[in-house]
Every structure is written in C-alpha cells, then in structure tokens.
Amino acid sequence: MADIKIYSAVVCPYAHRTRLVLQEKGIDFDLIEIDLQNKPEGFTRVSPYGKVPAITHGENRVWESAVINEYLDEVFPNPPLLPSNPIAKAQARIWIDFANTRLVPAFSTLLRSPDFQKQEEAKQELYKHLEFIENEGLGKLSGDGPYWFGESISLVDFTFFPWFERWAALKHYRSFGIPAEFTRVKQWKHALKERESVKAIAHSKEFYIERYAKFATPVPVAA
C-alpha cells in the first residue's frame, strides 16, 4: 500500500493535473476513483469541499489541485517542477493563477452554456487568453525549448495541459479549435502529448467527446 492516496475522477481535469505530477515524479500511489454524482459516505473527511482531487499522505490530507501539486513538489523534490529562482517561481504561480481564473472559466462557459450569445462571448475571451499565452507566456518564457519555461517541464505545463487534452470537445460541440496562428501553443501541446507521463494516462479525443456530451449540445451546422 502506497503512502500517497489520490482521490480522483477520470473525467476531472483538476484531478488530471495531480495525476500528471505523480506520474512525472514516479511517485507510488493508490488511485481511488470517486463517482462525483454518487460520492461515497465519509468522502468529506478526506476532501472537505467534496471535490477531487484530494490526497492523503500518511495521516495528512491536502486538497485543491494547485496546492496539492506544490505540496508534492516540496515533499518529493526530484525532479523539481518549479523554478528555484524567486522571480521565475513567481511567474510560474502567476501563470497557474491565470489558468485557474481566466482560461478555465472561459473554457467551461463555452462548453457548458446553452446560450448562443454567451458562447460567442466566451469564444472571444478564450481567443484573447490563447493570444496572451502565445505572446506573453510561451513567446517570452520558453525560448527555444518545448515547455513553458524552456527545456524543463514544470507545474505550469501540467496545470494547463488537461484542458488542452480536452479541447477536442470544444472543437466538436462549439466549432472552436486552437486557431492556426497560435503556433507556439500548438508546438507546446504536441510536446506535452509526447511526454511519457502524459501518454501514460492520456485519453482519446473520442473519449472526451463522449464524456462531455451531457454538458454540451452541438451547435447546429448550416446546410
């Protein structure tokens, strides 16, 4: 039995983040799948918010994916997934916050809202966020390397990637793929997809299209 237990749900992108970190670091863990529509009795003793992911590490418990991932990076420091330089570490935390407060809400609104006007507004917002990532993130921080901070994979990469693995659902249900002009974003996504830790738990486009069907109604296509 592993010291680490992760409470997860296969469709949850937040849990996906933490599973990627565990895979990348080669940490032995027990995976406990939670049915979010039928949560087991006592789950809130592990996850007070009633959400995944949550982990237990011995007698300790930690919840919220960004917090869990920093905890894992401190307790299992090799390989390090945050820069050691204070300003670079601050930049990493800024981008993690950007994912949580900007990209993810726009993605969710576009996929889940039944209101066409809100979908169009979310498309515009998501485009601006991708543009910001292209120019201010990857364009300024990655240099010639494949990842957010160049040659070294980081928590920032694993924070964003689960939504990009699910992008097929946006393309299928909302006709919004990643625009061709965002070449750095596309290169970054390809590099992540080839990472062994990512491939180990990856799912197909069809998997996400099927799983997200209940959240989205396809936009009618004009004849």
Question: Which tokens belong to 12?
Answer: 């949850």
Q: Per residue in 70-112, pLDDT tens?
A: 999 999 999 999 999 999 999 999 999 999 999 999 999 999 9
Instruction: Enter the DSSP assignment of 44.
Output: G
Q: How confident is the model at residue 223, as a pLDDT?
A: 38
pLDDT at residue 216 in the model: 84
| Cβ neighbourhood burial of 61 (10 Å; 0-12, 13-18, 19+) | middle
- Domains identified in the chain and CATH numbers: 4-75 (3.40.30.10), 86-216 (1.20.1050.10)
- Binned at pLDDT 50, 70 and 90, residue 2 comes out as confident
Would you state the structure tokens that stand for residue 37, as one six-digit string? 């529509």
Alpha-carbon distance of 98 to 96, in angstroms, equals 5
Amino acid at 121: E
pLDDT at 199: 98
Q: If you search the block for the tokens 């590099």, which residue do you land on?
A: 191
Let me know how long the chain is.
Answer: 223
> What average pLDDT does this structure show over 203-222?
81
Is the pTM higher than 0.75? The answer reads yes
- For 12-28, what is the mean pLDDT? 97
Q: Are 104 and 96 in contact (CB under 8 A)?
A: no
**Residue percentage of the chain with pLDDT more than 70:** 96
pLDDT higher than threshold 90 for residue 51: yes
Give the per-residue pLDDT at 221.
46
pLDDT for 215: 86
Does residue 12 carry a catalytic annotation? Answer: yes
Residue range 150-164: mean pLDDT, rounded: 97
- What is the residue-averaged pLDDT of the chain? 95
The 8-class DSSP code of residue 50 comes to: S
DSSP class of 40: P
- Give Cα separations from 97 to 54, 155, 198 (angstroms): 19, 12, 22
Average pLDDT over residues 178-206: 98
Helix 155-165 vs helix 13-25: angle between axes, to the nearest 10 degrees? 130
- Annotated active-site residue in 4, 6, 9, 12: 12
